[in-house]
């Protein structure tokens, strides 16, 4: 009887090994299939997310680029000095926040010039001679021009000529 049990034991162990190998193989296939599916679905999400980040980076990159710079005809005007007659000759360039075609800048040039003539002729030479005075007038110009424009804004003001006489 002991011999019979010994003869039956090895086949049972061999069958048990086959079962373990089959279970291991099925487990590896399930894990591999699950991992592959996760990689596929997560990978495509990462790609879409990567494209979103690339577009965002591209938009931010272009946000830092200067817009088109438009030159206004030179201004020659009397200043508001009371003791002496003083003149100001100034050439101003303005930077737009978007392409000129997407703004109403070309149609608003007469209104912009009018607003700036009124603003500049109300200033005294003492104020305009200082660096802080020029900074303040630059901010006032931006405010006035942006108030006139309805589509688009200006982001910067440049003085290319500034002569007080």
Q: Where are the domains of the chain?
A: 1-65, 69-164
Q: In this structure, are residues 155 and 146 in contact, taking their beta carbons and an 8 Å threshold?
A: no
Give 117's DSSP letter.
H
Pair type for strands 87-96 and 154-164: antiparallel
**pLDDT classification of 62: cutoffs 50, 70, 90:** low
Judged by DSSP in three states, 93 sits in strand
Taking Cα atoms as reference points, which of 144, 124, 143, 122 lies closest to residue 133? 124
What is the token pair recorded at 26?
A: 């099925």
Which CATH code fits 69-164? 3.30.479.30
- The reported pLDDT for the residue numbered 149 is 95
Pair type for strands 87-96 and 75-78: antiparallel
**pTM for this structure?**
0.61
Q: Could you read off the pLDDT of 93-152 as tens digits, one per residue?
A: 999 999 999 999 999 999 999 999 999 999 999 999 999 999 999 999 999 999 999 999
**pLDDT classification of 23: cutoffs 50, 70, 90:** confident
- The reported pLDDT for the residue numbered 10 is 55
- The reported pLDDT for the residue numbered 19 is 78
Residues belonging to the chain: 165
- The per-type count for the chain, helices as H runs and strands as E runs, is 4, 4
């Amino acid at each position: 009887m002991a011999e019979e049990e010994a003869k039956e034991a090895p086949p049972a162990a061999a069958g048990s090994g086959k079962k373990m190998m089959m279970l291991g193989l099925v487990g590896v296939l399930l894990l591999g299939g699950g991992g592959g599916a996760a990689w596929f679905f997560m990978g495509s999400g990462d790609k879409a997310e990567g494209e979103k980040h690339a577009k965002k980076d591209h938009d931010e990159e272009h946000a830092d680029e200067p817009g088109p710079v438009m030159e206004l005809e030179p201004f020659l005007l009397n200043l508001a000095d009371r003791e002496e007659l003083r003149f100001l000759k100034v050439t101003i360039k303005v930077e737009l926040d978007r392409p000129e075609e997407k703004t109403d800048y070309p149609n608003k040039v007469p209104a912009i010039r009018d607003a700036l003539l009124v603003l500049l002729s109300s200033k005294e030479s003492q104020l305009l001679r200082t660096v802080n005075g020029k900074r303040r007038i630059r901010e006032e110009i931006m405010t006035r021009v942006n108030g006139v424009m309805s589509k688009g804004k200006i982001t910067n003001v440049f003085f290319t000529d500034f002569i007080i006489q």
